[in-house]
């Protein structure tokens, strides 16, 4: 089982994701994994525990990743790509190291990684690469053989397989909001201003990439349904120390502004997320839409791409692109992103750590 092309050969596809608790007893240990070394205030941790508790201590993300893994296997097989699909998480079972052990024991020598994060930033790219380096080191420390060699698929924020399903989801949400000409409000995870400034090879890639996607989606939607001629990019799910400046405006604060200026209604578009995990079902569906209802602003939320067939097919296309069997596709003027991250790309704000899937530079 392998896929081979002029640019390389791989024995497996590794789905790399964040992870989430699957029961009440998992919540605190999971959040301790996530926040270790980040200086998150205890009151914020207690607040987030309550979010998970309201959903029975279960995050939707693991079930969504199981479904994505299943759909990827079916899509690859249906299109003649003989490649097994494994799945490992950064912060909860199945942990990356355990998955890499399984892959090694199955005879996998090389794998290409698909990260469930579409954009360039420390937490969305380099931290995953650091976690992969940690997992490889842990596996190889047991003396039972080398872990598979790992490369990564490029960022896919402006790939048609991500943009086109988002457009259709927005059109569905426009039909649900109940007003003639709603405003599109694109939302993503807030990050520290310093991390945004250093994101990507030359800085400020995080916002630039999101704005590129928002512009593409808005233009495509406006051709098919009536929406306001301008759009907004806002932020959610801030979790850092109070004194640290993060990207703004917060989504709920922005909804207040829209209501104050007489906006007819808003469609929330979570372009920063690929599935309806906790930061979507709580921060958007529970908090933001609840706030919109309180202030009398009609609002709806577009679905994420999840396992939409075009998104699943995009992963196969990125694999074939990585080995040189498919041409890169990108809808924005930013063009296709890099396969191997430059050395200075999205640096760790707490200091340099080993990271895989990077470019070797003199």
Q: What is the CATH number of the domain that holds 139?
A: 3.40.50.1400
Same structural domain for residues 290 and 200? yes
- Whether 189 and 144 map to the same domain: the answer is no
Q: What does the pLDDT read at residue 34?
A: 82
SS3 assignment, position 305: coil
Domain assignment of residue 107, yes or no: yes
Other beta carbons within 10 angstroms of residue 213's beta carbon come to 26
Q: Please report whether residue 354 resides in a domain.
A: no
Which pLDDT value is given to residue 204?
98
Q: What are the tens digits of pLDDT across the range 232-258?
A: 999 999 987 778 899 999 999 999 999
Residue 50, both tokens: 């309550």
pLDDT in tens, 335-359: 999 999 998 899 999 999 999 999 8
Q: Does residue 198 sit within a domain?
A: yes
Taking Cα atoms as reference points, which of 278, 361, 350 lies closest to residue 127? 350
Regarding whether 166 and 127 lie in a shared domain, the answer is no
pLDDT of residue 362: 45
Angle among Cα 103, 79, 81 to the nearest 5 degrees reads 30
State yes or no: cis peptide before 249, omega within 30 of 0: yes
Nearest Cα neighbor of 185 from 270, 94, 79 is 270
Q: Are residues 169 and 240 in the same domain?
A: yes
Say yes or no: 7 and 130 in one domain: yes
Rounded to 10 degrees, the C-alpha dihedral 320/326/328/330 comes to -90
Residue 74 included in any domain? yes
Separation CA 38–CA 40 (nearest Å)? 6
Are both 78 and 29 inside the same structural domain? yes
- Classify residue 359: in a domain, yes or no: no
Task: Name, in order, each residue with C-beta under 8 angstroms of 215's C-beta and a sequence gap of 6 or more.
Answer: 231, 332
pLDDT of residue 258: 98
Q: Print the domain residue range for 80.
A: 3-155+307-322
Per-residue confidence (pLDDT) for residue 29, from 0 to 100: 87
Residue 108 shares a structural domain with residue 189: no
- Give me the residue label for tokens 């699943």: 312
Q: Which value, to the nearest 10 degrees, does the dihedral of the CA atoms of residues 258, 334, 319, 206 take?
A: -50
Residues 82 and 225 in one domain: no
Across the chain, which has 362 residues, the per-10-residue mean pLDDT values are 93 96 90 75 77 92 97 98 97 97 98 98 96 97 96 98 98 98 98 97 97 98 98 93 91 98 98 96 97 98 98 98 97 96 93 90 50
Q: What is the spatial distance between Cα 89 and Cα 155, in angstroms, rounded to a whole number?
A: 18
In whole angstroms, give the CA distance from residue 142 to residue 132: 16
Would you say residue 328 lies in a domain? Answer: no
Q: What is the DSSP string of 49-96?
A: HHHHHTTTTB-SHHHHHHHHHHHHHHHHHHTT----EEEEESSSSSBH
Q: Are 6 and 324 in contact (CB under 8 A)?
A: yes
Identify whether residues 291 and 313 lie together within a single domain. Answer: no
What crossing angle do the helices spanning 61-78 and 309-322 adopt, rounded to 10°? Answer: 60
User: Is residue 38 located within the same domain as residue 116?
Assistant: yes
The number of domains in the chain is 2
Neighbours of 263 (CB within 10 A): 20
At residue 43, the pLDDT reads 73
Is residue 164 located within the same domain as residue 192? yes
Pair 211, 90 in one domain: no
Question: Residue 68 domain-assigned?
Answer: yes
């Amino acid at each position: 089982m392998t896929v081979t092309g002029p640019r390389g050969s791989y024995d497996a596809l590794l789905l790399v994701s964040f992870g989430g608790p699957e029961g009440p007893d998992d919540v605190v240990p999971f959040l301790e994994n996530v926040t270790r070394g980040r200086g998150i205030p205890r009151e914020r941790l207690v607040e987030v525990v309550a979010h998970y508790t309201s959903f029975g201590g279960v995050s939707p993300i693991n079930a969504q990743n199981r479904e994505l893994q299943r759909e990827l296997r079916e899509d690859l097989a249906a299109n003649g790509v003989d490649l097994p699909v494994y799945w490992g998480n950064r912060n909860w079972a199945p942990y990356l190291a355990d998955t890499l052990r399984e892959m090694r024991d199955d005879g996998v020598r090389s794998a290409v990684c698909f990260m469930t994060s579409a954009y360039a930033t420390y937490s969305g790219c380099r931290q995953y690469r650091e976690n992969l380096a940690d997992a490889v080191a842990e596996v190889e420390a047991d003396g039972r053989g080398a872990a598979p060699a790992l490369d990564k698929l490029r960022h896919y924020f402006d790939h048609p397989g991500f943009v086109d399903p988002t457009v259709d989801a927005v059109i569905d949400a426009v039909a649900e909001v109940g007003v003639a000409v709603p405003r599109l409000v694109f939302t993503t995870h807030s990050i520290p201003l310093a991390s945004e400034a250093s994101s990507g090879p030359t800085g400020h890639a995080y916002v630039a990439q999101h704005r590129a996607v928002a512009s593409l989606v808005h233009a495509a939607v406006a051709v098919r349904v009536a929406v306001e001629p301008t759009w907004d990019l806002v932020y959610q799910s801030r979790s850092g120390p109070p004194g640290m400046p993060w990207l703004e405006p917060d989504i709920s604060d922005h909804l207040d502004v829209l209501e104050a200026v007489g906006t007819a209604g808003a469609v929330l578009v979570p372009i920063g997320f690929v599935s309806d995990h906790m930061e979507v079902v709580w921060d958007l569906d529970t908090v933001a839409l609840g706030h919109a209802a309180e202030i009398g602003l009609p609002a709806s939320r577009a679905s994420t791409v999840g396992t939409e067939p075009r998104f699943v097919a995009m992963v196969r296309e990125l694999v074939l692109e990585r080995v040189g069997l498919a041409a890169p596709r990108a809808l924005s003027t930013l063009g296709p992103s890099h396969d191997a991250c430059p050395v200075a790309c999205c640096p760790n704000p707490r200091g340099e750590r080993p990271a895989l899937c990077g470019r070797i530079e003199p």
